[in-house]
Chain A
Amino acid sequence: MAYLELKNIYKTYGQGDNVTEVLSNINLTIEEGEFVAIVGFTGSGKTTLVNLINGLLEPTRGEVLFKGEPVVGTSHERGVIFQNYSLLPWLTVGQNVFMAVKVAFPKKSKSELNAIVAEYVAMVNLSHAINKRPKELSGGMRQRVAVARALAMKPEMIIMDEPLGALDALTRGNLQDEILNIWGKDKRTALLITNDVDEGIYMADRIIPLRPGPNATLGPEFKIDIERPRDKTELNDNPNFKKTRNAIIEYLMEIGNERKSEVQKEYALPDLTPKSFVW
């Protein structure tokens, strides 16, 4: 039995004449312990797909099965790292994490909860900033808080919606390693949504392109056969890496062109000449 299974998912927004079908016929299976990346253009419906899996949205048709059970609403078993951090600005770093830990482990005592908070904040190297508010942190630090918050709830599956999209390349690389570290440590299942093919190849076991919406659907999957732990500098010389990367990019370019040719339409411009032209 697959760990997470999406069967013939359709998702539409709007009603009546304004219906847009964002996702159509999405089929996806993820096995336990796998790291899967979905790459796609911006606006192709990636966030909608994530929200269907984490339970914030319901599919219009089809079903999402998590460990064989249909997904109804959100669950602490599936931790989410949002694209825009979504930290509560009136709480400090520690309080933001504490709030999540408290609802995840309602039976634990306050000191136990505080210990968990401290542990996870330390894991993302933010112990020095535990009493700061999100406003006082840089983008990368905020995203690390969001990572700590999601992981501190000890979810079985981590769902990441372009978690590193807004970060600079250096911070991005560091956080990629941190996430991989955590994922590798207790072998959770992870789903990463990204628009960066290199990031996908570096982190995931499988990459699945999402064809651009409306009517977005998943393309053929690409397996990444590169030994872990992967080294970023060596990766560039790895023939496997080059091959996969080129294949994925070629595929994405192809569907990008397809989209363009669909949009291309001849607009006949009226043949106008100004009646009088006064300078």
Chain B
Amino acid sequence: MHIPDGFINLSTSAGFGAAAAGGVWYSIRRAARVLDDRRVPLAGLVAAFVFAAQMINFPVAAGTSGHLIGGVLAAVLVGPWLGSLVLTVVLVVQGIFFADGGLSALGLNVFNMAIAATLGGYLIYRGLVALLPKRRPTTAAAAGVAGGLSVLLAAFSFVLEYALGGEGGAALGTVAAAMGGVHALIGIGEGLITALVVGTVLATRPDLVEAAPKAEVMAHG
């Protein structure tokens, strides 16, 4: 899911980079309102956890693997604004220290994973939570479904970038179909991991789940 240098032309990369920077700046402003001494170490831990989890590529089809994005996971655990910043930190560390994700593509990758998948996926989560009973299993399931769909959001965000400034010669429809197909499979893995982790934290420390429905925190806290 990490775009290398050269895939998308520089003007498109710069445009999405500007949009990503705007999203990150807005997230900083919003996170600054709620960030206190209690939340700083937890948000740092979530970033470290997302980095670790992204290293685990699981097989999804013959010769193809996928790994967690973790955007919805982070957003549910520490809130959407800190969540998008968590993903941004992970992507910056991966790009600078591990040569994973091109430096000229950093804005594209932040846009796809920290903004589209994290904030977009979080919106889906909130929509599902509003519709479902406010209980632990349904909350974990809502996080899982939103996590799975967030992978498709990131995949189609890439397709949009490819449509606007792709350097490769493949037809847009072919790329869109291929990206959608493989990321639907990866989304299943993302959904299972997200539901498992959110469910585990809800069962042990529900007060640490920032975006848990309030009834649930009351019932277990």
Chain B associates with chain A: no
Seen from chain A, the residues whose Cβ lies within 8 Å of a Cβ on chain B are none
